[in-house]
């Protein structure tokens, strides 16, 4: 009697667990990508780091020193700064 009762219960439990696991362990969709803050590098000054904080969010205007200064970039290697950065808007 016990085995006749436990077989359907275990089967039902296994199906319920599978449905739960399918939804519980799937990552939730994100609204957008993560935006990273990056210190800008000035290509006109041998790629020296500036005190201007930029971001990698390409929907913003390009990052520059002040309002009319040089455009700022991120380092692509140890010696080159060619990756465009964008203005950080708070």
Looking at residue 3, its pLDDT comes to 64
Q: Which residues in 39-74 are b (16+ Cβ under 10 Å) and which e?
A: ebbbeeeebeebebebbbbeeeeebbbeeeeeebbb
Could you tell me the pTM of the whole model? Answer: 0.58
- State the CB neighbour count (10 A cutoff) for residue 31: 4
Looking at residue 62, its pLDDT comes to 92
Looking at residue 73, its pLDDT comes to 92
pLDDT in tens, the chain (90 residues): 566 777 888 888 888 888 888 777 666 665 556 677 889 999 888 889 999 999 988 888 999 998 888 999 999 888 888 999 999 876
């Amino acid at each position: 009697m016990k085995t006749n009762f436990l077989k359907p219960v275990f089967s039902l439990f296994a199906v319920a667990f599978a449905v739960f696991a399918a939804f519980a362990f799937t990552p939730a969709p994100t609204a957008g990508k993560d935006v990273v803050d990056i210190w800008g590098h000035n290509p006109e000054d041998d790629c020296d780091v500036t005190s201007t904080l930029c971001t990698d969010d390409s929907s913003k205007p390009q990052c520059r020193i002040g309002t009319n200064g040089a455009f700022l970039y991120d380092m692509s290697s140890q010696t080159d700064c060619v990756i465009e950065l964008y203005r950080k808007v708070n």
